[in-house]
């Protein structure tokens, strides 16, 4: 029988004597916001786990009764102040699949229009514009390390090349 050893509104630590422990959390969305001139709007925010500011993409949890596209556009508006008139679904990834039960749905966000919503962040979010063609340099220099962000960027680039 599955036992829940820790639970709050975001996480559950699950396990029992017959299988290893794992963490269960809410599913989420992550967006690659791309301007008409080919720039990706990254966010720069603190990482509690790393203790430094990190470069990532806008995204977050899916609210109850919220569909994926609505969640994606809400996160864009909360984190970078834009609404996407076109959201292309890129796929789903499951970060750290061995020990984390969570799915992140990836979107390419285009035809952006200014629209700001108040978010739930406890910190300031800054933005950084980078040409989509240059994101691999960020990885090589160690400036971009988030695996979900990297996956989303590769999928977005491939989507644009094949459509």
CA dist 36 and 137 (Å) reads 21
Q: What is the pLDDT of residue 114?
A: 97
Higher-confidence position of 3 and 56: 56
In a domain, 97, yes or no: no
Average pLDDT of span 141-156: 96
CATH value at residue 44? 3.90.79.10
Model pTM?
A: 0.87
In a domain, 18, yes or no: no
What backbone phi and psi angles, to 5 degrees, belong to 62? -105, 125
Share of the chain above pLDDT 70, in %: 91
- Give 38-94 pLDDT, tens digit per residue: 999 999 998 888 889 999 999 999 998 999 999 999 999 999 999 999 999 999 999
Domain hosting 157: range is: 31-91+106-162
CA dist 44 and 128 (Å) reads 7
């Amino acid at each position: 029988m599955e036992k829940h050893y820790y639970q709050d509104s975001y996480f559950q630590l699950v396990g029992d004597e017959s299988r290893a422990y794992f963490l269960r959390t809410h599913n989420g969305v992550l967006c690659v916001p791309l301007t008409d001139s080919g720039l990706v709007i990254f966010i720069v925010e603190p990482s509690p786990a790393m203790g430094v500011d990190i470069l990532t993409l806008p995204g977050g949890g899916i609210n109850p009764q919220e569909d994926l596209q609505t969640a994606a556009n809400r996160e864009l508006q909360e984190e970078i102040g834009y609404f996407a008139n076109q959201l292309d679904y890129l796929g789903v990834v499951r970060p750290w699949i061995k020990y984390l039960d969570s799915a992140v749905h990836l979107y390419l966000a285009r035809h952006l229009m200014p629209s700001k919503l108040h978010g739930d962040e406890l910190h300031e979010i800054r933005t950084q514009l980078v040409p989509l063609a240059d994101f691999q340099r960020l990885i090589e220099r160690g400036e971009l390390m988030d695996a979900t962000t990297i996956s989303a960027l590769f999928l977005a680039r491939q989507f644009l090349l094949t459509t």
